[in-house]
Amino acid sequence: MSRLPLLLAALLLPACMQVNVKGDPAAWARTMSTDTTLRVATYNTSLYDDAAGGLIGRLESGDGGARKIAAVLQRVRPDLVLLNEFDYDAQARAADLFQRHYLEIAQPGGGDPLRYPYRYLAPVNTGVPSGLDLDRNGRAGGDGRNRGNDAWGYGLHPGQYGMLVLSKYPIDSAQVRTFQKLKWSAMPGARQPVDPMTNAPWYAADVWSQLRLSSKSHWDVPVRTPSGVVHFLVSHPTPPVFDGPEDRNGARNADEIRLWSEYLSGGGTPWLCDDQGRCGGLPADARFVIAGDLNNDPVDGDGRHEAIVELLEHPRVLRHATPRSEGATEKTAQYAAAGLVHRGAPQHATGDFGPKAGTMRLDYVLPSVGFALKDSGVFWPPTASPDAAIADGSDHHLVWVDLDASAE
């Protein structure tokens, strides 16, 4: 197929869709080449602040952690990347600052300046008051953690722990689907939390009927790559901890992950309706990449592991070698020497979560069948490497995969 019609279509797309999507159609024409490799990544950046607008202030004054995050991105240079834990603001000031003053300036230990002509960001559930007593402490809302516990997703202000998609290729803004407001109870067979003391549902019926499934949001972001549209399926499920014996966060984490399994299954999902009122899953012939900090290790930690294993083994997800790093192997061995048992493959861990939890694989980039995997990795160098100086900007590490987009 000629590239001219595709290029003309890109030029006719809405330029920005206000603060949600930013684009530069001419940049796409400049990136067109015969190379069909697509590098896709996910990175939990820990670029959040407990105060509303706090991240903006940090980025304006020069933030050391943000410089390290930018340096890693400059080194890996993904074509398409999800940043988890990047605070959302409606004017996209934080995203602008990070692009102009961090990514577009060569950072110590990084590479050449890096520019993403396209981005997507949107509201998330974290910190948004629900008006309900979700933690059952006798009142709705309050201050500090009490306010956060009763938000639709835990957060101290709306937008905390948000998401940001950066892309070298155009985003089809008209076809983006978001599932921020999808009700948890709408999912058939939802894992409704149960109070183990009474065997009754943890949430009262009127509360359960209002609860949102996604702790942040789930996005289907179609990206127009030179080799065709790729659906970037991104999310950041709640950690399966910080609750009680009812395991309400563990249940929610598992069903947030299950949403993608259901989305890929296509037919029979009339309940799966996005925030624009469009229902159903992803078309059977669509290529996709699932990405995010899914907060669930296949064997270690507190999560309900069957949820992530089901997604990894979904027939539409490409079977491929798991990304790995020397740094994960080294750190896991240190914990093992201190007596911390780790059942998973040490080299597959994506983050270091301290002496109690150890290392775990929580961050995933999962391409669909229809791609061929060319390479992959986790940017987690061993401590003896000079690169270790920029790898500690977050407790998570960037995960990337190189895909041959021409494969069928």
Q: How far apart are CA 67 and CA 336, in angstroms?
A: 32
Domain contains 135: no
Domain membership flag for residue 192: yes
Phi first, then psi, for residue 154 (nearest 5°) are -60, 130
Containing structural domain, residue 394:
3-124+159-404
CA angle, corner 361, sides to 403 and 51, nearest 5? 100
Q: Is 222 among the domain residues?
A: yes
Q: What is the pLDDT of residue 141?
A: 83
Span 160-167, average pLDDT: 98
CA angle 375-233-132, nearest 5°? 140
Q: How far apart are CA 248 and CA 231, in angstroms?
A: 30
Q: Are 323 and 399 in contact (CB under 8 A)?
A: yes
Residue 300 falls within a domain, yes or no? yes
Where does the pLDDT of residue 405 fall: very low under 50, low under 70, confident under 90, or very high at 90 and above? confident
Q: What is the pLDDT of residue 13?
A: 36
**3-state SS track over 49-75:** CCCCCHHHHHHHHCCHHHHHHHHHHHH
Q: What percent of the chain has pLDDT over 70?
A: 91
- CATH label of the domain that carries residue 216: 3.60.10.10
d(CA 262, CA 268): 9
Per the domain annotation, does 12 fall within a domain?
yes
Specify the pTM: 0.92
pLDDT tens, 53-71?
Answer: 999 999 999 999 999 999 9
Burial of 4 (0-12, 13-18, 19+ CB in 10 A): exposed
164 confidence band (pLDDT: 50, 70, 90): very high
Query: What is the spatial order of strands in the sheet that 228-235 belongs to?
Result: 177-178, 218-225, 228-235, 287-293, 363-367
Task: Provide CB contacts within 8 A for 268, sequence distance 6+.
Answer: none
Tokens of 63: 């933030």
**Residue 35: pLDDT over 70:** no
Beta carbons of 310 and 292 less than 8 angstroms apart: no
- The maximal CA–CA distance of the chain, rounded, in angstroms, is 65
> What is the pLDDT confidence band of residue 30, given thresholds at 50, 70 and 90?
very low
Return the SS3 of 368: strand
**Residue 141, domain member (yes or no):** no
Residue 118 belongs to a domain: yes
* Residues across the chain: 408
Residue 93 lies in a domain: yes
Number of domains comprising the chain:
1
Tell me the pLDDT tens digit for each residue of 332-346: 999 999 999 999 999
Please give the mean pLDDT across all residues of the chain.
Answer: 91
**pLDDT of 20:** 53
| 193: helix, strand or coil | coil
Query: H or E segment at 46?
Result: strand 37-47
Looking at residue 355, its pLDDT comes to 93
